[in-house]
Structure 1
Amino acid sequence: MQTNKLSFKHYLIIGSMLFGMFFGAGNLIFPIHLGQLAGAHWLTAGGGFLLTGTLLPLLGIIAISVTRSNGIYELARPIGKRYATAFMILTCATLGPLFATPRTATTPFQIGIASHVSTSQAPWALLIYSLLFFSLTYWASRRPTQIIDTIGKLLNPAFLILLAIIFGIAFTRPLGAAHTTAVTSAYQQGAFLNGFLQGYNTMDALAALLFGIAVVTTIKSLGQHEATAIAKTAAKSSLLSILLEAAIYLGLIWLGATSLTRFKLSTDGGIAFSQIAKAFLGVPGEIILAIMATLTCLTTAVGLASSFSEALHAKFPKISYRAWNRLSCGASFLIANIGLDAIIAWSTPMLMFLYPLAITLIILSIASPLFQRDAAVYRWTTGLTLIPAALDALRSAPTIITQHSWVQALLAWDSKTLPLAKLGLDWVVPAMLGLAIGLGWYGIRRWWAARSLDLN
């Protein structure tokens, strides 16, 4: 089938679409909060944040391109069909109606509206806001081929203009000098590592695996159908998106650090951003922030709803795309109304479980040509990552779970036995061991096959 040659304009449009899909609720508030936590060490913490917040998503898109997969299921299939299905469902649920998609509505509400209504009025205000928000999300995500029009050409430029206004004022009239601000205890020595773990909250590495199907669909709609051409286009477009995202992250982290010269450490980045906007522009600043937060979170919600629906429709074709989309938007609306704090509290253990599995899957996929995508390498690495990832999830769970004696005993054993457990990275050594065993087994089988061929 003939493949059209895309122009630089097409790469910009696809890159803009990816940026709009990636940059959402957590991407706006977590860098600000990280800057406040890191203070004078904001740049070091920012370096760690960029690894999980920008590099991993880029590698995720490249992994899909290298393996020529059209979705998260195909990417994980070498591990086993059942595992691939389970991993896909957990990832879709996390990025879809359980955590990420509801958060796209609760975050802009929290930072732009909640402070202007009373405690008794807040639940009703959130109900109305989230109903309108997810009604728009459903309307924009009805047809996946319209993603470029609704995100790349309309919502994304509006968000960038609003963000540029905030940055322009902040850089010309900074609140203070970032290098002189206080550093919290956790960031005195471990700024880089803590920034790395904070990057989990963006969920972008998981989103990159899910968005792959939307990227492929969009590229095909522009006239490219050959697998190699699609892979190259996806990689180039994602690089443009990630570079822009990295620059914005560093700006937001710096902005959070400078805010400490005027404001106290806030409980979350939404409160801090609201304070900063009001300091620069007064009430109009808060209005700009509310609009900006709504736009950026709406673009992400559209991308998440579309990718969720396409991924599950591809796996379970008897249920239509529109039915999955209704489920995603409807369930997200219901869960959004339990509040932002509850969503974040319960999403953290799921992220601590899924991220190690996503990181190892991305690395294995990119390196797969070296071992011919051998299933043994995938299975050994993933198998030895699963248990410590589950322990990390337990460690970060809400008190209602961690207060049980058996959980505390298990976590105590984990801290004494596995290296880096106290740092939330106890999966690293087992994963490396699994990779070594898998590669060794692959090498032995290759040697034995070659020897048998020579003997014959």
Structure 2
Amino acid sequence: MLEEKHLTTKDYLVIGSMLFGLFFGAGNLIFPLHLGQIAGGHWVTAALGFLVTAVVLPLLSVLAVSLMHAEGVYDIGRPLGKWFALTFMVLIHATIGPLFGTPRTATVSFTTGVAPLLPKSWQTGGLLVFSALFFLAAFLLSYKERKITSAVGKVLNPLFLLLLAVVFFVGFLHPLGSAGAQAATTGYHTSGASFFNGFLQGYNTMDALAGLAFGVTVVTAVRGLGLHRDTSVAKVTAKAGVIATSAIGVVYLLLIVLGATSVAKFAPSAEGGTAFNQIVTHYFGAAGHALLATLLTVTCLTTAVGLVAAFAQDFHKHFPVLSYVQWLGLMSFASFLTANFGLATIIEWSTPMLMFLYPFSMVLILLSVTNHLFHRDPVVYGFTVAFTTLPALGDMISSFPPVVSQSSFGLAVTNFYHSYLPFSTLGMGWVVPALVGLALGLVCHVWRVRAAASAEA
């Protein structure tokens, strides 16, 4: 048995800082700010809902990885069989990877931070050049797997936090208005509606999905510090997850309040990037644009590094026909191509996929955290996931862009779905079926255990 290294407080902080940097990317900066603007005086209940899916759930995903001694998304879905696990892994990585999540890291930083500095005629070419340089940097920082800890935890993330702290200090020293006095937009006029809409807004961060995917990256980094036993790696991963998500929760609250106060001077924007640009420009003038561009590029790059690395690590493990570096290059290039469709298109088409995948992710995370209660019985997993499938499909269809959701097929599915499933109008139609499936699965598990005990007697 190899000798285990005793980690210092500094080691825990570095791993926690790395995990914070991997989690905190484009959406984590703009979506809570936007939520504050649209929730207005009801920002507290909206924030509570947002924190459930954007902080608690990602923490549970990290705990699930550690408790299952998992090294990636595949292991979380493995109790349902290798084909389900492989399909789930591919869908998660495709969503947070080259289709939506990773390209968004480049488009948000460009659209919000860089584009305002360029003439309109340069926008298309500017995005092309910026995204090429952005993903080249992500590729180079991820090239050596064990260097990710240093690149993100020791350098990029502290720089981001320093820049963000400057914005918070000035913003709260000279507030634009009172957060509690601002009018709420449609959907946030009551506390209950604010909570559920904040809950759904948390999907946009993609952190619960990313937490599962980053498992392999974190485990690799922890082992690189000199730990070898699964139990030791699990404990360090869990502690780092608590450190990272606690810090993220504090930043989210500050961003939501900052967004709510900004409504006193600016009308709610279509997305948080514009709001952040307005706030920073108000306080810092022309220099604010440069600060914003730097801030967004740094935070988005940290997340891009984690996403491309996690993709390459998982795909090399399960599809070894290509090396880690080859998968890394393919992921970076595919993300570069998708990024050039633009931020609006990426966000528009990512929502349906998130509405489909998040219910599965939530039930699998909760089952992984509590699996000791039913001995990881595949029957419990099977019933719960099976009952979640159709409602998740309904959520996906109803949230597609109008070309699908407003078609005769889309309207028929949405009307049927909203008529028969509780909470479906809130985007939570999967909850009751999932609980029914869980109950049936637990009943079958108890019956099987008792039958086995009787047979032995």
Task: Compute the TM-score of the two structures, normalised by the length of structure 1.
Answer: 0.99
2:428 is the alignment partner of 1:425 = yes
Structure 2 Cα separation of the partners of residues 221 and 191 of structure 1: 43
2:198 is the alignment partner of 1:195 = yes
Please name the residue that 1:441 is paired with.
444
Please name the residue that 1:153 is paired with.
154
| Pairing partner for 2:230 from 227, 232, 251 | 227
Please name the residue that 1:359 is paired with.
362
SS in 1 for 2:71: coil
Structure 1 Cα separation of the partners of residues 441 and 322 of structure 2: 38
Structure 2 Cα separation of the partners of residues 452 and 134 of structure 1: 60
Structure 1 Cα separation of the partners of residues 239 and 294 of structure 2: 30
Long gaps (5+) in structure 2 = none
Q: Is the 8 A contact 2:36 2:259 kept in 1?
A: yes
SS in 2 for 1:113: helix
Q: What is the CA deviation profile of residues 288-327 of structure 1, one whole-angstrom value per residue up to 9, with x for unaligned ones?
A: 1110000000000000000010011111112111111011
Q: How does 1:153-192 map to 2 (within 5 A)?
A: 153-189=154-190, 190-192=193-195
Please name the residue that 2:116 is paired with.
115
2:335 is the alignment partner of 1:349 = no
Structure 1 Cα separation of the partners of residues 289 and 43 of structure 2: 25
Structure 1 Cα separation of the partners of residues 410 and 198 of structure 2: 27
Q: What is the CA deviation profile of residues 246-284 of structure 1, one whole-angstrom value per residue up to 9, with x for unaligned ones?
A: 000000000000001111111110000000001111111
Structure 2 Cα separation of the partners of residues 135 and 228 of structure 1: 36
Structure 1 Cα separation of the partners of residues 160 and 72 of structure 2: 28
Structure 2 Cα separation of the partners of residues 72 and 165 of structure 1: 36
Q: What is the CA deviation profile of residues 186-206 of structure 1, one whole-angstrom value per residue up to 9, with x for unaligned ones?
A: 001211111110000000000
Q: How does 1:211-360 map to 2 (within 5 A)?
A: 211-360=214-363
Please name the residue that 1:129 is paired with.
130
Q: Is the 8 A contact 2:117 2:289 kept in 1?
A: no
Structure 2 Cα separation of the partners of residues 112 and 68 of structure 1: 40
Deviation at 1:286, TM superposition (A): 1.8
Q: Percent identity?
A: 49
2:413 is the alignment partner of 1:413 = no
Deviation at 1:174, TM superposition (A): 0.6
Structure 2 Cα separation of the partners of residues 285 and 101 of structure 1: 25
SS in 1 for 2:267: coil
Q: How does 1:359-378 map to 2 (within 5 A)?
A: 359-378=362-381
2:69 is the alignment partner of 1:72 = no
Structure 2 Cα separation of the partners of residues 256 and 407 of structure 1: 34
Deviation at 1:116, TM superposition (A): 2.8
Residue correspondences, number? 454
Deviation at 1:149, TM superposition (A): 1.2
Q: What is the CA deviation profile of residues 113-142 of structure 1, one whole-angstrom value per residue up to 9, with x for unaligned ones?
A: 222333332100111111110110111011
Please name the residue that 1:36 is paired with.
37
Q: 1:80 corresponds to which letter in structure 2? A: G
Deviation at 1:411, TM superposition (A): 1.2
Q: 1:72 corresponds to which letter in structure 2? A: V
Q: 2:385 corresponds to which letter in structure 1? A: T
Deviation at 1:330, TM superposition (A): 0.1
Q: What is the CA deviation profile of residues 312-351 of structure 1, one whole-angstrom value per residue up to 9, with x for unaligned ones?
A: 1111112111111011100110110000000000000000
SS in 2 for 1:75: helix
Structure 2 Cα separation of the partners of residues 125 and 420 of structure 1: 44
Deviation at 1:95, TM superposition (A): 1.0
Deviation at 1:67, TM superposition (A): 1.1
Structure 1 Cα separation of the partners of residues 216 and 138 of structure 2: 19
Q: 2:232 corresponds to which letter in structure 1? A: A
Q: 2:39 corresponds to which letter in structure 1? A: A
Long gaps (5+) in structure 1 = none
Of 301-310 and 185-194, deviating more is 185-194
SS in 1 for 2:119: coil
Structure 2 Cα separation of the partners of residues 185 and 331 of structure 1: 37
Deviation at 1:287, TM superposition (A): 1.1
Task: Compute the TM-score of the two structures, normalised by the length of structure 2.
Answer: 0.98
Structure 2 Cα separation of the partners of residues 125 and 363 of structure 1: 43
Q: Is the 8 A contact 2:397 2:413 kept in 1?
A: no
Q: 1:351 corresponds to which letter in structure 2? A: L
Q: 1:279 corresponds to which letter in structure 2? A: H
Structure 2 Cα separation of the partners of residues 263 and 72 of structure 1: 41
Structure 2 Cα separation of the partners of residues 110 and 144 of structure 1: 30
